[in-house]
Amino acid sequence: MGTRTVLEGAEISRALTRISHEIIEANKGVAGLVLVGIPTRGTLLARRIAANISRIEGVGVPAYQLDVTMYRDDLAKHPTRAPQPTDMPVAGVDGATVVLVDDVLYSGRTVRAALDALNDHGRPKAVRLAALIDRGHRELPIRADYIGKNLPSAKHERISVSLVEFDGVDAVSISEGSEEHA
């Protein structure tokens, strides 16, 4: 089968613009809104969404980064995960509406770890989830509130998100391979 591109730059941009509008609408504006990306690409996506919301609403929305490595339940399976820096509001997230942002939603285990990690930073009013790609195959009862694209895939397929800030190009591809995202 090889690798095939399923989303390119313009399509990713449109999906993130739509997600940005949906977040504003669901939150009835930007008051109390905090975006939190899950490294690495989730953080980049959170920053893009924050920039979109800022352009749309004329008000800055903070975008932070929350490392979930030490909260994962599969460290024995993936022991080489290097922790990333966590950058969260100094005052915490008490009373905020937090939108967790990740690139690919798969089993739900990364999101479960993010929810555990988020507890260390306060008690949000609400937590929502945005994912560029929802590929299905959930192992936990977790669903995204905002989805760029539903991309049903076989478990043996690999979904790769490339972003210009990290990879030099914006693209989502699917290929034969091992399970990549949890």
CATH of the domain at 38: 3.40.50.2020
Q: Please indicate, yes or no, if residue 165 is contained in any of the structural domains.
A: no
Q: Please indicate, yes or no, if residue 160 is contained in any of the structural domains.
A: no
Q: Please indicate, yes or no, if residue 179 is contained in any of the structural domains.
A: no
Q: Please indicate, yes or no, if residue 134 is contained in any of the structural domains.
A: yes
Q: What pLDDT shows up at residue 135?
A: 96
Q: How many domains does the chain have?
A: 1
* Positions of E strands within 69-182: 97-105, 126-134, 146-150, 157-162, 171-176
| Residue 45, domain extent | 7-73+86-155
Q: Give the tokens for residue 94.
A: 């008490």
Q: Please indicate, yes or no, if residue 182 is contained in any of the structural domains.
A: no
pTM as predicted: 0.92
Crossing angle between the packed helical segments 9-27 and 41-57, to the nearest 10 degrees: 60
Q: What pLDDT shows up at residue 24?
A: 98
Q: Give the tokens for residue 111.
A: 């999101």
Q: Please indicate, yes or no, if residue 11 is contained in any of the structural domains.
A: yes
Distance CA 104, CA 106 (A): 6
Contact by Cβ (8 Å): 30, 60: no
Check residues 87 and 150 and name the one with the higher pLDDT.
150
Any bridge partners for residue 158, and if so which? 175
Any bridge partners for residue 97, and if so which? 33, 126
Asked whether the predicted pLDDT for residue 109 surpasses 80, the reply is: yes
Distance CA 182, CA 180 (A): 7
Read off the pLDDT band of 2 (50, 70, 90). confident
- 15-27 confidence digits (pLDDT tens): 999 999 999 999 9
Q: What pLDDT shows up at residue 18?
A: 98
